[in-house]
Structure 1
Amino acid sequence: MKKFMPIILILLFVFNFTSVIYANDNFLNPSDINAESAILIDGNTGEILFEKNIDKKMYPASTTKILTGILAIENGNFNDMVTVDAETPYEIKGAHIALEPDEKINFEDLLNATLIESANDAAVVLAKHIGGSVEGFAKMMNDKAQDIGAKNSNFVNPNGLPDENHTTTAYDLAIITKYAMKNEKFREIVKNHQYTIEPTNKKTEQRHLHSSNKLLYGTSNINVDGKTVEIKYDDAIGVKTGYTDEAGQCLVSAVERDGRMLISVVLKSTGNNLWIDTHKLLDYGFNNFTTTILGFKNEFVKNIEIKNGNNSFVTGVNGKDVSITLPKGTKNSVTKNIILNDNLEAPISKGQVLGKIEYILNDEVITTSNIISTSDIKLMGVYASISNSSLFSNFYPWLLIGLPILFIIWSFSTIRKKIKKKKYATKSDITYKEKY
């Protein structure tokens, strides 16, 4: 048996080594993605799960219409009948729904045409209806993008047609999409790949719209990491494709499964690599990450010492439920660091923030939560007397009482000095007469 022990140990080492390699096989490298820029985020928390050139300025093509769509929903009226202006039908290139001058079309039809058919003419008509002009709407787009948290975007039109000044990033598109997907109407539209516009005053036939987002319906096969799968991705709920020669193939996708939402952005991919890249990103997210609960709202944290109070301590609890997307198997590696505010003293109000909890993984703070008080702590003794006195709790009584007192003291002091001076003068005069 002793003769075989070294061999057994070597075999165990090889087995463990290959197991580690296999465990890391699912790691996705930037080089595994064909696209020039890509990102995968948790659609609920915004955590970045994969990145490749996520802050590089790129041409977004029709993925621009995600921002156009959410702005239209938030600022438009679904009951409006919109009249097409005389210029737009003749100025638009690329995808369109053949709008005509003076055509009256429902606002909701224009919105669906923008997000499903990716109609450039519909997007511009919407922009003019809401913003007064393309320029006015572009300003609204940039303001909204900045409010959402976009850092490196500049939009000059509502449809994404080429312009050297019309750029965004994978990161910015991801957080814009995360914001948009919170809107039920937006979600309702982008999950569909078909829509019908009824006849208008200029069109006698229905217009049938079709989305180019094959992630929702595509039955063609692609090869993803050696496996043949359909382009359609289970549980996909949107959102938008895009293409121009300058931008290449672009796709922003959202998938919701078991309470989790993942959002991927792929910019400047080629051919079927667009779908392959997207599948790789989404597979990576679902296979390697899980939403982990780290804390619960009102969970006990610690008893915290309070100065000058009618109680010497207050119970501090977690201010919210804390959940975060983490690599599978890392939950037990997360540690907590409790940081209390300086000079905690009465009075303390119920719900007051007393400090924070830092959740740490691999020496990095991955999320935080406030520590809050569960009760009121009042001042005690002399501190309470001083605090409760109307004289000490309001500056104006002091001002109203103090100024007259100061004036009386000043007046008394002045009169006293005059009397003293007069007495001194009289005494000096008497002394002078006696002397001479």
Structure 2
Amino acid sequence: MKKLHQKLVSFLLLTIFIAFNHVPVLAWTPEEGLSANSAILMDTMRGQILYKKEANISLSPSIMCKLMTALITIDRTQLNSKVTISKNAAGINGASLNLTVGNLYTVEDLLYGVMLTPGNDAAIALAEYAGDGDVNKFVGYMNEAAKKLGLHDTYFVNPTGLYDEKQYTSVSDIAKLIKSAIANPVFNTIFGSRGTAWIDGKDSSILTNQNKLFWSYNGIDGGKIGTNPKQGVIAVTTASRDGRRLLAVVFDKDEDSALSQTTSLFDYGFTNFYNGLLVSKGIPLRTINVQDMDVNLISKIDVFYTYPIGRSFIKDIGFIKNEKLVLPLKTDVVAGVLKYILEDGTEIDVDLYSNREVVAPQDYKSKIKTILDENRDLVIIVSILIIIEFLLMFYYIIRFLFRLIKKMGHPEK
């Protein structure tokens, strides 16, 4: 039965590939700008922004709620745990999985339901489970996580993304969340899934990722689509080429436009930017003076950054010395920080270390003390021998004096 399901998944995914293999491509240059209402292109290595347009305007967080729900659930539960479906979950507006009240589903299956489909019923079920039966408690977890991640344009009211005028987000915050979330292997795997078998009792079907770029653009390795009837469509997509992974978040009036502009952003990012070496490990970068000793500083690692082709993209370089340094200076002590500021505002801090252990020069007395400290056992033995020699000399002197006095008291007749 399992092999049959796997064959069915492969067949249906191939069918979808053929059906969705054409997504219109939008001719675009950064000077002209995108027609999308809001968009952002990010390099996920260190979060450099390669392009943005109205990236902080408030949007309904339909897709953001699902992404955060998945991330919180992964952090707080076990994938193989069983979730009992409540009436509230099964009957929620926008339910897409037809969950059966009272049935048990694994956390992992429900996570795929949230990420691959609208999955409002799965989102409520996970929120109830991870929130100990209290959806509002789970929403509290969502807002706490948003604060920790610095999502200043985001506030949650529910885990489904159903419209509520009190909750909001932005494409900038969605990009920040995804950059952090894909560092989690479980989230990254589900986010990068094209489809999976869905088994509900005796029934089985295929859950397919609604982001059509999986089947039409080279290198897509993550994606989700969010639709809000009151506003439009948000496409969240990642793509990798030549060791680089880019993230695009596009909000526009309809799905075709959002996806076509996503491909334009990826074309722009992969064609016009490189990922190159900023700092080489082991190469002296600064020389500082510590207690009248010159110290060469190096980075212990290679540091990379993303830059436009033909430009260094470095706006400023600063250096902050560790003012608490004293000799001897070990090679594992941070001696200073080299701060690179890029033209897009990105700050890259590079920790620098001494390329060798540095000790203070010694005067005559210090050298003697060092020698004595380093040869303590030998010094003790020599000292004992000297004391013995001194005692023997003292003994012979006393003995000689005693004989002399005795002889003087009894002169020869």
Residue 293 of structure 1 aligns with which residue?
277
Residue 30 of structure 2: aligned partner: 28
Count of equivalent residues: 339
Task: List aligned pairs for 1:362-377, cutoff 5 A.
Answer: 367-377=348-358
**Structure 2 counterparts to residues 123-272 of structure 1, below 5 A:** 123-132=123-132, 133-200=134-201, 204-217=202-215, 232-272=216-256
Distance apart, 1:339 and its partner CA: 4.3
Structure 2 counterpart of 1:103, one-letter code: N
Aligned residue runs from structure 1 range 238-387, under 5 A: 238-307=222-291, 312-331=293-312, 336-342=317-323, 344-359=325-340, 367-378=348-359
TM-score of the superposed pair, with normalisation by structure 2 = 0.75
Helix, strand or coil: the match of 1:124? helix
Query: 1:40 touches 1:48 (CA, 8 Å); kept in 2?
Result: yes
CA shift for structure 1 position 337: 4.5
* Aligned counterparts of 1:151 and 1:41: Cα–Cα separation in 2: 18
* Aligned partners of 1:34 and 1:269 also within 8 Å: no
Counterpart secondary structure, 1:348: coil
Superposed displacement of residue 313, structure 1: 2.4
Q: 1:317 to 1:234 in 2, by over 3 A?
A: same
C-alpha spacing 1:284/1:125, structure 2 compared with 1 (3 Å): same
SS where residue 358 of structure 1 aligns? strand
Structure 1 letter corresponding to 2:70:
G
Letter matched to residue 204 of structure 2: Q
What whole-Å deviation, never above 9, does each CA across 1:301-347 have from its counterpart, x for those lacking one?
23321116xxx222211243221110011139777554434475434
Give the residue type in structure 2 aligned to 1:101. Answer: V
Does the C-alpha gap of structure 1 residues 345 and 365 become closer, same or farther in structure 2, counting only changes over 3 Å? farther
Give the letter aligned to residue 131 of structure 2.
G
Q: Counterpart of 1:87 in 2: which secondary structure?
A: helix
Q: Deviations over 1:253-306 (max 9, x none)?
A: 100111000001112433421112111111111111111111123322233211
Mark the CA change 1:288 to 1:377 in structure 2 (over 3 Å): closer, same or farther.
same
Contact 1:37 1:266 in 2 (8 A): yes
DSSP-derived class of the 1:331 partner: coil
CA distance in 1, matches of 2:168, 2:222: 22
AA partner of residue 35 (structure 1)? A
Amino acid at match of 2:281: K
User: Which amino acid in the other structure matches residue 125 of structure 1?
Assistant: A
Give percent identity, aligned residues only: 29
Contact kept? 2:64, 2:169, Cα under 8 Å: no
Q: Is 2:307–2:313's contact at 8 Å kept on the other side of the alignment?
A: no
Distance 2:193 2:80 in 1: 21
Residues of 1 paired with 2:97 and 2:167: CA distance?
Answer: 23
Matched letter for residue 126 of structure 2 = L
* CA-to-aligned-CA distance 1:143-176 (integer Å, 9 cap, x gap): 1122223222111222211111221111111011
Deviation larger for 188-197 or 108-117: 188-197
Q: Secondary structure at the match of 1:297?
A: coil
- Structure 2 Cα separation of the partners of residues 94 and 244 of structure 1: 11
Cα distance between partner residues in 2 of 1:62 and 1:346: 55
TM superposition shift of 1:361:
5.5
> Quick check: 2:73–2:130 contact (8 Å CA) kept in 1?
yes
Q: Is this contact kept in 1: 2:299–2:351, CA < 8 A?
A: yes
Q: 1:364 to 1:278 in 2, by over 3 A?
A: closer
SS in 2 for 1:35: coil
| Stretch deviating more after TM superposition (271-280 or 340-349) | 340-349
Looking at structure 2, the residues matched to 64 and 320 of structure 1 have their Cα atoms a distance apart, in angstroms, of: 38
**Contact kept? 2:56, 2:171, Cα under 8 Å:** yes
Q: Residue 198 of structure 1: SS of its match in structure 2?
A: strand
Give the residue type in structure 2 aligned to 1:167: Y
- Tell me if the contact between 2:250 and 2:261 (Cα under 8 Å) persists in the aligned partners: yes
- Evaluate the alpha carbon distance shift between residue 366 and residue 328 of structure 1 in structure 2; reply closer, same or farther with a 3 A threshold: farther
Cα 1:286–1:333 shift into 2, 3 Å = same
Gaps of 5+ in 2: 1-26, 370-413
Shift in Å, 1:241: 0.6
Contact 1:191 1:216 in 2 (8 A): no
| Mean CA deviation greater in 359-368 or 100-109 | 359-368
CA distance in 2, matches of 1:342, 1:243: 54
State the SS of the aligned residue for 1:69: helix
Distance in 1 of aligned mates of 2:344 and 2:361: 42
**What TM-score do you get using the length of structure 1 for normalisation?**
0.71
Unaligned runs of 5+ in 1: 1-24, 218-231, 389-436
> Contact conserved, 1:59 with 1:167, CA < 8 A, in 2?
yes
Pair 97,50 (structure 1): closer, same or farther in 2 beyond 3 Å: same
Pair 1:99 & 2:99 matched: yes
**Distance in 2 between the 1:332 and 1:39 partners?**
19
| Counterpart amino acid of residue 358 in structure 1 | K
Deviation string 1:236-257 (CA, Å, 9 cap, x unpaired) is 0122110012231111110011
